Amino acid sequence: SLLTGLVLYERLFVPFIRRFTGHPSGITCLQRMGIGCVINIFATIAASMIEMKRKAVAMHHNLLDQPNAVIPISVFWLVPQFCIHGLAEVFMYVGHLEFLYDQAPESMRSTAAALHYLTTSLGNYLGTLLVTLVHGYSGKQHNWLPNRNLNRGKLEYYYLLVTGIQVLNFIYFLVCAISYTYKSLEAVKECTKENKDCCTAGCPRQDLIDVHNVQEGDRLRSNERV
């Protein structure tokens, strides 16, 4: 779903939305990340609903107290939540990288990308910590994540908890995105007929042109001597 979503995003979504926004990329990096956050919320909601469906089937066949039994439900019920999550990655993950590459200083782009992966790894550890805390403090009789029998657990509650955290994170993201000011990009213009030299901020890069002329003159003089 991630690979398919990337192709559809570039081939269909961007040209279509560009007609309304006039933006070269269709939408800005922050808008792309925000859409990804919203889609990811729907992914965890779908996971919660599918878990409810799984437990309903187990209850219908009297399998709640048989943790090792095979519940007669297709594994393809898991496809929707993973497809939605993959679609969210098309917007959110790629939007992160685009934002860092576009807005970070040129000398710090690699550092910004490294910090992005660092925060991702920290998020994985925090997810493990959240599972541990929920397992430890959700009670012994009605534990959300029991050790032996998940059919008697409340995994759907855990998904809803994650959904609530994602909603809070999205609200915080909106506050930061609204107050963020994009850096001004240097205007790139053609300075020579070969389209090799360029100018910044609307002014010709005369220093590069002078260096090129000096090097060309030295080369011609050396050829004459030979």
CA dihedral 15, 17, 19, 20 (to 10 degrees): -170
Q: How far is CA 208 from CA 41, 186, 196, in A?
A: 50, 16, 10
- Report which of 28, 48, 8 is spatially closest to residue 177, judged by C-alpha positions: 28
Taking CA atoms, 194 is separated from 112, 140, 211, in Å, by 34, 74, 16
In whole angstroms, give the CA distance from residue 25 to residue 115: 24
pTM of the full structure: 0.75
**What would the DSSP string read from start to end of 61-115?**
TT-TT-TTSPPS--GGGGHHHHHHHHHHHHHHHHHHHHHHHHHS-GGGHHHHHHH
What pLDDT score was predicted for residue 225?
46
3-state secondary structure of 190: strand
Q: From first to last of the 226 residues of the chain, give the pLDDT tens digit.
A: 888 888 999 899 989 999 888 888 889 999 999 999 999 999 999 999 999 999 999 999 998 888 888 889 999 999 999 999 999 999 998 888 888 888 888 888 888 888 888 998 999 999 999 999 998 888 777 889 888 888 888 999 999 999 999 999 999 999 999 998 887 655 333 333 334 444 444 444 444 444 444 454 444 444 444 4
Q: So what's the pLDDT on residue 85?
A: 93
Q: Is 97 helix (H, G, I), strand (E, B) or coil?
A: helix
